[in-house]
Amino acid sequence: MVEGVLRLSDKSAGDVMVAAPRMDVLDLTQPYEDLLETVIRTAHSRFPMVEASRDNIIGILMAKDLIKLQRAPELHLRTLLRPAVFVPESKALTELLRDFRSNRNHMAIVIDEFGQTAGLVTIEDVLEEIVGEIEDEFDVADGESAVYTLADGSYRVAGDGPIAEVNRIFGLDFPAEDFDTIGGLVAHELGRVPRRGESVDVKGLRFVVLLARGGAVRWFRVTRVPSSDLGDSASKAAAGQPPNA
């Protein structure tokens, strides 16, 4: 921890932020049902709220505040927003942590030298630089299985799960000699690292990104692709279209 504190003084908000394209945001113009679906799917406690454009951040919405609209639909969503804190990319993490503590904020929007949104940083991002990664219920301890069966019959698969284990459980033959992890294989099939909520179909399995962190997929939700969708994918392939088009 002492070493982490010393390293903290050499890092800035731009070093640990979540880049703008990977930010999960809510749009003030979206219907309530769409906002709620995003909150449930991403499982964050707070979101940047934008209006019409991702660069136009007008505040921060706490997920718990969204529930108030169910009891009081006459409320306007804008009245539930908390002020957004903006910091430059060059903001030192030591200063940022001090601001988080004094202002009781847990999230800041990072802007670049031109005033455009560069990303966001949370107090957890800063603390992890000191104490190491803070594990949650989505993290897997050493020796645990990378594949879990869920109540609805689908599976939760770790992005760093070994190809061999996925092959054994699903009875497939993914090339273990080409990729070490299932996340690497899926990223190869898509041509890039998928973002949260994106889905990719590979050999009859549908991989939906549940959690992504640090530029890598942490968890997938995996289901068998319905036979009707397999037929559609085959038709698109024959037409020269990607399967998820």
Looking at residue 244, its pLDDT comes to: 53
Looking at residue 131, its pLDDT comes to: 67
Question: Of all residues in the chain, what percent carry a pLDDT higher than 90?
Answer: 18
Query: Can you say whether the dihedral through the CA atoms of 238, 239, 242, 244 is positive or negative?
Result: negative
Q: Of 1-15, 61-75, 84-98, 204-218, which one has max mean pLDDT?
A: 84-98
Distance CA 107, CA 124 (A): 9
Domains of the chain, CATH where assigned: 2-131 (3.10.580.10), 147-236 (3.30.465.10)
Per-residue pLDDT averaged across 189-200, rounded?
A: 83
Q: Please enumerate in sequence order all residues whose Cβ is within 8 A of that of 240, keeping only pairs 6 or more positions apart, or say none.
A: none
Looking at residue 61, its pLDDT comes to: 93
Is 50 a residue whose pLDDT tops 90? yes
Does residue 167 or residue 215 have the better pLDDT? 167
Looking at residue 212, its pLDDT comes to: 74
84 with 62: CB under 8 angstroms?
no
Is 210 a residue whose pLDDT tops 70? yes
Q: What is the pLDDT of residues 7-45, one digit of tens each?
A: 777 888 888 888 888 888 999 998 888 888 888 877 788
Q: Which residue has the tokens 């104490």?
A: 131
For the whole model, what pTM was predicted? 0.56
- pLDDT interval class at 234 (50, 70, 90): very low
Per-residue pLDDT averaged across 186-199, rounded?
A: 83
**H, E, C per residue of 167-183:** HHHHCCCCCCCCCCEHH
Per-residue pLDDT averaged across 114-136, rounded?
A: 77
Please give the backbone phi and psi of residue 38, each rounded to the nearest 5 degrees, phi first.
Answer: -65, -40
- pLDDT interval class at 240 (50, 70, 90): very low
